[in-house]
Amino acid sequence: MSYKYKVLPHPADIKLEITASCKEDIFKGALEGMAYIIQPNASRKSVLKKEQIEIHSLDINALLVDFLSEVLAKSDIYNCIFDKVKIEKLTDNSIKGRLEGKNVERFSKEIKAVTYHQLNINQDKNGDWKAIILFDI
Amino acid sequence: MFNKSDLIKLNNYLWEIPKSYRKDMLVPARIYITEKMLDEVVKDRSLNQLVNLTTLPGIVKYSLAMPDIHEGYGAPIGGVFATKLPDGIISPGSVGYDINCGVRLLKSKHTEKEIRPYLERLIEEIFHAVPSGLGKGGKFKFNITEMDRILGKGIEYLKEKEYATEKDIEHCESGGCLKADPCFVSDLAKKRGRDQVGTLGSGNHFVEVQEITEIYEEKLAEELGLRKGQVVVLIHTGSRGLGHQVATDYIRLFMQSMDKYNISLPDRELAAIPFSTPEGKEYFLAMGAAANFAWSNRQMITYLIRNAWKKVLGLKEESIDLVYDVAHNIAKIEEHEIDKKKIKLIVHRKGATRAFPNQPVLIPGTMGTASYVLVGTEKSKEAFYTVCHGAGRTMSRHEAKRKTSGREVLQQLTKKGIIVKSGSLSDLAEEAPLAYKNVDEVVEVVHQAGLAKKIVQLKPLAVIKG
């Protein structure tokens, strides 16, 4: 696994910082981080739900937000936590893959939305990719 | 970050950031606040977000902030501005994701002394009747045709189904129905919403049973049917997953369309395009549908509370009347006076409440503190007839949990005699009163600034947290 995520404080909402070795892992880390916010104590003993996902967006920043927004909507409709994605294809404005998750009785926290607020996926001088996403709680 | 010296004090309750502060400002920015409260506000990015609003094409007079202002995303919470019709922008990012999140006040015929023996059972019954928390669908599941009617007609449709009365419609902002077109609401949004009518959600959403503890204006209180010692119920919730999806869909669409209309913004989350464009008009009608959904949600919760009340008190008939229902995340077309002429504007209120003269205004506090009923005044025309929406957060959820625990909050409230029902101790800590500004000070600002008059104060007896 070549990504990590950290929840950062915000006056009203929640920020998630992801550090990864490549763009693909930014998406994987953001997905797992969002699942952690919704359900910090979820166990991954059984994978019950698999869902195809395909998103097209303006640019890589919008793509990450649109990808997470789509996952959030699916979570809400199916009462499911999706925390893994097998990415089949990723470009700067499209992603195709398969989500993996499991049904839950309830979530611990409600994320109303994934925002575009000051999101800028970038690579630092050490070659690490970074992104900070603000979730509306 | 701002320095206090960047602002000009206009009077004890109003400050201005002049247009010269930043090159891209089209108008000044104003904030209703005391100097003491301003010292705290300058510590986060909320004033930068307020200044960003002044760059929106078509904005008139100034962008405004209410005393409960705090940092959000795009527009600050407590932010207000108006743009000229038809070519001024409309901004889903400045309405927010929880479209028509709002507050509703119900009044019972009983005093605190009469209700006290039933209170524990009453709150237990409401807690079980009104689904709160997450991942739990509601008791009502509507098919797509019924959903379209809720989205198109709001409470009017629920009256046809006998879940609402004519009096409920009369006591609701805009009669609980905005002009809307369900065709512009995505299937995904409808799927998210179909079992969420009559559900509370989580976070800062609540149902509180309260007692009227102070009367400030006898005559106006009497006109609203409110008296000292009376038990009332305050409901705070919004448009749930349906509204969140409508906002998500249109913020995405607007971001893709901004280039086409040559709109460039300091924060892309503001996502704004001219109202007169096809996308602008579509969003307005979809937002109206989400607003109708939110009013229907608060109406179905009212229906469930009325049933619980009758059951616990063992009554066949019990009148729990609606005092008023207000939205605090919305964009509306209203007529306002600009340069001595009445013109139509699109007024955006994000965490701010409409306050037309003599209209009831409901300002909830936190779990352990007071809430208020005010009425709007003629003077609030200077603020596009708007006041604050609550206490306003002052610390992050993370910091709140560092400073207190859910168990500690529960103990403190129990000590005050307040009954608490919540599915999550962690949420109780995040929503602890210490995480919010002092609601008494916030309300005093709008009262002293003359934007609204305090009518009654309410104190919690029992709290259901989402």
Say what the alpha-carbon torsion angle B294, B280, B246, B49 is, to the nearest 10 degrees.
-90
CA atoms of B103 and B112, how far apart (whole Å): 22
Determine, for residues A137 and B269 on separate chains, whether the beta-carbon distance falls below 8 Å: no
Q: Is B339 left (phi over 0), alpha (psi -120 to 50) or beta?
A: left
| Number of Cβ atoms within 10 Å of the Cβ of B402 | 12
8 Å CB contact between A108 and B428: no
B348 catalytic? Reply is: no
Q: Of the ranges A117-131, B50-64, B117-131, B135-149, which one carries the lowest mean pLDDT score?
A: B135-149
Is residue B318 very low, low, confident or very high in pLDDT (cuts 50, 70, 90)?
confident
Query: For position B268, what pLDDT does the model report?
Result: 87
Compute the nearest-CA separation of A66 from chain B (Å). Answer: 8
Sign, CA dihedral B390-B391-B392-B396, equals negative
Determine, for residues A110 and B203 on separate chains, whether the beta-carbon distance falls below 8 Å: yes
Query: For position B200, what pLDDT does the model report?
Result: 93
A79 near B CB under 8 A: yes
Determine, for residues A10 and B396 on separate chains, whether the beta-carbon distance falls below 8 Å: yes
Chain A residues within 8 A of B268 when measuring between CB atoms? 116
Residue B466 clears pLDDT 90, i.e. is over it: no
Helices (H), B43-194: 46-53, 112-115, 119-129, 144-153, 155-160, 166-170, 187-193
B396 vs B114, which has greater pLDDT? B114
In terms of residue numbers, what domain contains A120?
3-136
Residues A113-134 have a mean pLDDT of 92
Searching chain A, which residue's CA lies closest to the CA of residue B201? A110
Q: Who's near B67: CB < 8 A, 6+ residues apart?
A: B31, B32, B33, B34, B37, B78, B388, B392, B437, B441, B442, B445, B446
Q: Who's near B140: CB < 8 A, 6+ residues apart?
A: B195, B197, B198, B300
Which domain CATH number covers A120? 3.55.10.10
Residue B172 clears pLDDT 90, i.e. is over it: yes
Query: For position A44, what pLDDT does the model report?
Result: 63
Compute the nearest-CA separation of A33 from chain B (Å). Answer: 16
Query: For position B20, what pLDDT does the model report?
Result: 97
Compute the nearest-CA separation of B257 from chain A (Å). Answer: 10
Residues B57-71 have a mean pLDDT of 97
Query: What would the pLDDT profile of B373-399 be if each residue is shown by its tens digit?
Result: 999 999 999 999 999 999 999 988 888
Chain A residues within 8 A of B97 when measuring between CB atoms? 112-113, 136
Is residue A43 very low, low, confident or very high in pLDDT (cuts 50, 70, 90)?
low
Tell me the pairing of strands B419-422 and B452-465. Answer: parallel
A58 near B CB under 8 A: yes
Residues B161-178 have a mean pLDDT of 97
Q: Of the ranges A31-45, B156-170, B274-288, B443-457, which one carries the lowest mean pLDDT score?
A: A31-45
Searching chain B, which residue's CA lies closest to the CA of residue A58? B256
Nearest Cα to Cα of residue B234 among B174, B298, B167, B140: B298
Q: What is the CATH topology of the domain spanning B4-394+436-465?
A: tRNA-splicing ligase RtcB (3.90.1860)
Query: For position B75, what pLDDT does the model report?
Result: 95
| Exposure class string for B119-129: b at 16+ Cβ within 10 A, else e | beebbbbbbeb
Determine, for residues A104 and B135 on separate chains, whether the beta-carbon distance falls below 8 Å: yes
- The domain total for chain A is 1
8 Å CB contact between B53 and B94: yes
What is the three-class DSSP state of B444?
Answer: helix
Percent of chain B predicted with pLDDT > 70: 99
What is the three-class DSSP state of B407?
Answer: helix
Searching chain B, which residue's CA lies closest to the CA of residue A38? B134
Nearest Cα to Cα of residue A14 among B54, B73, B370: B73
Determine, for residues B244 and A112 on separate chains, whether the beta-carbon distance falls below 8 Å: yes
Residues B440-451 have a mean pLDDT of 98
Determine, for residues A112 and B191 on separate chains, whether the beta-carbon distance falls below 8 Å: no
Nearest by CB to B134, from A8, A11, A106: name it.
Answer: A106
Query: For position A107, what pLDDT does the model report?
Result: 83
8 Å CB contact between A21 and A3: yes
What is the three-class DSSP state of B287?
Answer: helix
Q: What residue ranges in B223-370 does DSSP mark as E strands?
A: 230-237, 273-274, 321-327, 329-338, 341-350, 353-354, 360-363
Is residue B308 very low, low, confident or very high in pLDDT (cuts 50, 70, 90)?
very high
Tell me the pairing of strands A3-9 and A14-20. Answer: antiparallel
Query: What would the pLDDT profile of A84-111 be if each residue is shown by its tens digit?
Result: 999 999 999 999 999 999 988 878 888 9
Is residue A46 very low, low, confident or very high in pLDDT (cuts 50, 70, 90)?
low
Determine, for residues B247 and A113 on separate chains, whether the beta-carbon distance falls below 8 Å: yes
Chain B residues within 8 A of A136 when measuring between CB atoms? 73, 96-98, 244
Is residue B135 very low, low, confident or very high in pLDDT (cuts 50, 70, 90)?
low
Query: What would the pLDDT profile of B193-250 be if each residue is shown by its tens digit?
Result: 999 999 998 888 999 999 999 999 999 999 999 999 999 999 999 999 999 999 999 9
Q: Bridge-partner residues for A133, per DSSP?
A: A16
Query: What would the pLDDT profile of A48-60 be if each residue is shown by its tens digit?
Result: 889 999 999 999 9
8 Å CB contact between B4 and B14: no
Query: For position A13, what pLDDT does the model report?
Result: 82
Searching chain A, which residue's CA lies closest to the CA of residue B396? A11
